[in-house]
């Protein structure tokens, strides 16, 4: 049974810097993103991690690979750890979204959990997917896994682990250089210094 889960986000990407929504598209890590990933890996090397699991997207696997190398482990890809599918909005900036989908982001704000990206996913769907990801990871028999994923699905991973309301989880941010620790039995969330 999993005791502790460490959740990390990939380093900054070119599209993060440009304000483009990536979703399940990908862009490479920036120099800052590589530095963030190396910093996360350095911190992870001192943690009692017994398995490294990653989203299949390149920005996450690049970050997870650095972590696994420091730990002397390999990376296990879990498809369900992929970021929220942004559908037709993937690759667009906020101003491009407003031009192509007028008023849609205002509608999203009314019910962020159930609202669905056109041609993509809702947080509610990703919430269910994140529960499947956690179940899959538990089948590996690990006690203290590191999950390397993305900000949006990361909210739902933490929501499932902590059993909090979705509205609470949707307010959380996950900076690129932060590792969260969840003590599963006590449902306590902390940042790893």
Which of the residues 10, 86, 174, 176 is marked catalytic?
10
Query: 167 catalytic, yes or no?
Result: no
Q: Is 87 exposed, middle or buried (0-12, 13-18, 19+ CB in 10 A)?
A: middle
Nearest to 149 by CA among 133, 169, 172: 133
Which of the residues 83, 86, 121, 174 is marked catalytic?
83
d(CA 77, CA 37): 17
Q: Where are the alpha helices (DSSP H) in 24-165?
A: 31-44, 58-71, 94-100, 104-110, 123-138, 151-162
d(CA 70, CA 54): 15
Query: 10 catalytic, yes or no?
Result: yes
Active site residues: 10, 83
């Amino acid at each position: 049974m999993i005791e502790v889960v460490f959740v990390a986000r990939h380093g900054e990407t070119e599209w993060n810097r440009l304000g483009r929504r990536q979703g399940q598209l990908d862009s490479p890590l920036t120099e800052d993103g590589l530095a963030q990933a190396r910093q996360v890996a350095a911190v992870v090397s001192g943690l009692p991690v017994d398995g490294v699991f990653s989203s299949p997207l390149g920005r996450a696997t690049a970050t997870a690979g650095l972590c696994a190398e420091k730990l002397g482990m390999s990376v296990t890809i879990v498809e369900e750890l992929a970021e929220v599918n942004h559908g037709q909005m993937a690759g667009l900036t906020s101003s491009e979204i407003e031009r192509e989908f007028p008023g849609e982001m205002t509608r999203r704000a009314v019910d962020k959990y159930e609202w669905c990206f056109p041609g993509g996913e809702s947080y509610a769907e990703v919430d269910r997917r994140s529960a499947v990801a956690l179940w899959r990871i538990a089948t590996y028999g690990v006690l203290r896994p590191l999950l390397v994923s993305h900000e949006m699905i990361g909210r739902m991973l933490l929501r499932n682990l902590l059993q909090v309301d979705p509205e609470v989880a949707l307010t959380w941010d996950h900076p690129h250089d932060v590792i969260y620790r969840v003590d599963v039995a006590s449902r306590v969330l902390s940042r790893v210094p």
